Amino acid sequence: MQKILITGGTGFIGSHTVVQLESIGYECVILDSLANSRPAVVDRITKITGKTPVLVEGDVRDRACLDAVFAAHDIDSVIHFAGLKAVAESIREPLRYYDCNVSGTITLLSAMAKANVKTIVFSSSATVYGEPDFSPIPESAPFRPASPYGKSKAMVESILTDLTVSDPAWRVALLRYFNPVGAHPSGMMGEDPAGIPNNLMPFVCQVASGRHKTLNIFGNDYPTADGTAERDYIHVMDLAEGHLAALHYLVRSDAPRLTIANLGTSRGHSVLDVVTTFARVNNTPIPYQFVARRPGDVPAYWADATRAEQTLGWKATRSLEDMCRDSWNWQTQNPTGYIG
């Protein structure tokens, strides 16, 4: 039985990944500062899986905390989710983002090296591509991050790549995921952002439930079919399964030192697509209004996820309808999130 350290494991993607890991026999140790998540997530994981992961409240920038975690637990591998992730916020607070996302990762990698734990799955982001020349975007596309958030992800990828060159014992997967939405099909776990949501789907859900009167759609003058931005929305359960597939791949004897893969559906949906699909699937109207574009947003991008299927044996299987249905199921069961 392998023991996996999940940084940021009470967050949206991290918690769903823990469920998948625990469900097939892994032991999980979660390290999370709880700055943007709730400790109650662990109770939901227990109810779904029948197993309780270890939760350590701590920051990846805290070397003493990391050393203590590796000393107390026989960790085999790490899945690294911990970090800040709002594009517009990163433009306002770049130093905070570089400190948390880049310095935090360096501290984590140094602690891993000391503990001789050299297998890591890193949750990167499609924001490293910035505004691409075309979609679908292959992994070979050039890096053009348009925000400090995207730049911080690109920096970490460079650090991890250099690490695999310096030491052949390292096994690294860089997973560039696109736009995670949805929730666990039980409705017991989902996205619970602190304050006003930065992402589309939780805001749509909160408008549908009456917590907000109107959805703001940022920009309707993009060069897209309906003028709203297009993204590759991927169900969080598909994304969790992608991290599990990467972990399985890295422990194979023939795995290369470095594996890079997009995690997406290979299809773009506009903001209006999401809004109208949500309203149709859930029979719930979503009032909206158009407002100015957000800094750092790009018009359209979606993945070429062929490599993930060919290399990791992974492919997204859930539809936009599934994403909308599961998101609303989570919202209706938990109208105030995990604190309800």
Cite the active site residues: 149
Distance of CA 211 to the CA centre of its chain: 25
Q: d(Cα 18, Cα 287) in Å, to the nearest integer?
A: 35
**Tally of CB atoms within 10 A around 126:** 25
DSSP alpha helix (H) spans, 73-103: 87-92, 94-97
Distance of CA 191 to the CA centre of its chain: 11
Give, in order, the Cα–Cα distances in Å from 241 to each of 104, 275, 313, 315, 332: 25, 26, 10, 9, 25
Strand partners, 233: 179
DSSP alpha helix (H) spans, the chain: 12-23, 40-49, 63-72, 87-92, 94-97, 104-114, 148-166, 200-208, 236-250, 271-282, 306-307, 320-333
DSSP of 166-188 = H-TT-EEEEEEE-EEE---TTSS
Cis-peptide, bond into residue 136, ω within 30° of zero: yes
Report strand pairing: 269-270 vs 230-231: antiparallel
Q: How far apart are the first and last CA of the chain?
A: 35
Give, in order, the Cα–Cα distances in Å from 124 to each of 20, 215, 275, 297: 19, 28, 26, 17
Residue that the structure tokens 């967050």 belong to: 11
Exposure string of 150-188, with b = 16+ CB inside 10 Å and e = fewer, is: bbbbbbbbeebbebbeeeeebbbbbbbbbbbbbbbeebb
